[in-house]
Amino acid sequence: MAEKDGDHEANAYHQSEELKRQKKIKRLKYFGIFIVFQVIVITIFSLTVMKAKTPKLKLASNVYIQTLTYSPATPSFDMSFITQVRVRNPNWGPFKFRDGTIVFTYQGVVVGQVYIPNGKVGLRSTKKITVLVNVNSNALPGKSALGNELSNGLLLLTSTAELKGKVELMLIMKTKKTAELSCSMVFNLAARSLQNLDCN
């Protein structure tokens, strides 16, 4: 009888150990599944949210001419206008940029510049900066092409700029990015308005 009791206890002990072992295996399986799931989530997260995109820099099409004088005979022009510079940040973290300059040119010659102070654009938002721009023909050498343009009541300018800075993601990753501007502008001088704006 004592032998049967011993067998029964040994059997119960083995069953208990087997249950413990199965529970351990089950826990390890769940832990393994959890780890794989975390790796997948982190991979997707790093490929989408954590990938720093280049911020966009554009001029707004709402341009308000303040002063304008031009002469096709001379030929010459002097103009000031108010417009808006827009820095759009598509990232899930802020974009901090250093100060920069927008350069306005006529056929490759600088006719005006405007200073952009350093700043910060919040995550997935746009910063709007109002600027007063002054452009004139003082630096232009031979002005024959300009005379023809002004006779037609038009003025074609290009504007370029770079704002260098860093995109900060999750308060840990900082990636250098440069927002670039490249626009062509056609002013209708007779109507004292911006006729066309094309930005890349």
Q: Please give the residue range of the domain that contains residue 6.
A: 1-48
Q: What is the CA radius of gyration of the chain?
A: 33
Highest mean pLDDT out of 23-32, 116-125, 144-153: 116-125
Q: Indicate whether 109 and 194 sit together in one domain.
A: yes
Q: Indicate whether 5 and 68 sit together in one domain.
A: no
Q: Indicate whether 108 and 156 sit together in one domain.
A: yes
Q: Indicate whether 4 and 23 sit together in one domain.
A: yes
Token pair recorded at residue 55: 């911020």
Q: Indicate whether 16 and 77 sit together in one domain.
A: no
CA distances to 3, 82, 121, 172 from 56, in Å? 85, 20, 11, 23
Q: Indicate whether 150 and 80 sit together in one domain.
A: yes
Domain count, the chain: 2
The pTM (predicted TM-score) of the whole model is 0.77
Q: Residue 31 has what pLDDT?
A: 85
Q: Indicate whether 43 and 61 sit together in one domain.
A: no
**Of how many residues is the chain composed?**
200
Last residue of a domain, one of 14, 32, 48: 48
Distance CA 50, CA 123 (A): 12
- 114-121: list long-range contacts, CB under 8 Å, 24+ apart: 116/85, 116/161, 116/163, 119/87, 120/94, 120/95, 120/96, 121/55, 121/87, 121/88, 121/89, 121/94, 121/95, 121/97
With a pLDDT cut of 70, the percent of the chain lying above it is 90
pLDDT tens digits for range 72-118: 998 999 999 999 999 999 999 999 999 999 999 999 999 999 999 99
Q: Indicate whether 180 and 113 sit together in one domain.
A: yes
Q: Indicate whether 119 and 173 sit together in one domain.
A: yes
Q: Indicate whether 89 and 156 sit together in one domain.
A: yes
Q: Indicate whether 151 and 168 sit together in one domain.
A: yes
pLDDT tens digits for range 5-49: 556 666 777 777 888 888 888 888 888 888 888 877 766 666 565
Kindly tell me if the per-residue pLDDT of 3 is higher than 60: no
Q: Indicate whether 81 and 167 sit together in one domain.
A: yes
Q: What is the CATH number of the domain that holds 122?
A: 2.60.40
Q: Residue 18 has what pLDDT?
A: 80
